[in-house]
Amino acid sequence: MAVRPITIVGHKALHAPTKRVKEITDDTRALVEDMFETMEAANGVGLAANQVGVKQRIFVFDCPDDELGENRRGVVINPKLEKGRVPAGEADEENDNEGCLSVPGEHFPTARADWAKVTGTDLDGNEIVIEGHGFFARMLQHETDHLDGYLYLDRLTPTMRLESREAVKDRGWQYDGITKWDPTELKAEDV
């Protein structure tokens, strides 16, 4: 297992839809192990394959589920998302803040549906259905968005989108040529 570098906003891998996994191989299993290790090193709750530069439709998670009162951990291959209604208007700045390992150190209020469900397969090719509410539903939507080529910044209201662009610009990643960060060397807020 290895911790892989995490791509940063602006990297082309984050803005293109991923490809369906046709066959689960030893390489797929090794990728998933690396993704879990990378997510843990970065203190994340979810990680999509394209965040580590792999264009496959896979995400891993280790996320609190407030309804169950415990963390849920797993992998979803080729997820399909269903979700409830996303509230209109501005997101609640206290309760709807969202962050991303590919936008390290930043958080913005993001409107998401309170309920979400993904269907896909596990590493053994068995069909799985995972659903939840609140923060867990937010994670399911966030990770599936990654696999569809979207960042949470793309879901922000116009006001927040402008603020996020300024924050990304202030970080200077694109000007400094920084496209990845290594969670074994840095904390997200230090990138």
Res. 175: pLDDT tops 80: no
Listed in sequence order, the residues at least 6 apart from 171 whose beta carbon sits closer than 8 Å to its beta carbon are 105, 106, 191
* Helix (H/G/I), strand (E/B), else coil: 32: helix
The annotation status of 142 as a binding-site residue, yes or no, is yes
* Helix (H/G/I), strand (E/B), else coil: 97: strand
Q: Which of 51 and 184 is assigned the larger pLDDT?
A: 51
Res. 120: pLDDT tops 80: yes
State pLDDT tens for residues 46-88.
999 999 999 999 999 999 998 888 999 999 999 999 999 998 8
DSSP label at residue 123: T
Give yes or no: 143 in active site.
Answer: yes
Give dist(CA 15, CA 45) in Å, integer. Answer: 21
Res. 136: pLDDT tops 80: yes
Residue extents of the structural domains in the chain: 6-176
Q: Catalytic pick from 37, 98, 106, 143?
A: 143
Question: In the predicted model, what is the mean pLDDT of residues 121-145?
Answer: 97
CATH number corresponding to 6-176? 3.90.45.10
Residue 79 near residue 141, CB atoms below 8 Å? no
Residue 79 near residue 124, CB atoms below 8 Å? no
Share of the chain above pLDDT 70, in %: 97
Six-digit token string for 166: 């300024």
Number of neighbouring beta carbons within 10 Å of residue 51 = 30
Res. 188: pLDDT tops 80: no
Give dist(CA 164, CA 39) in Å, integer. Answer: 23
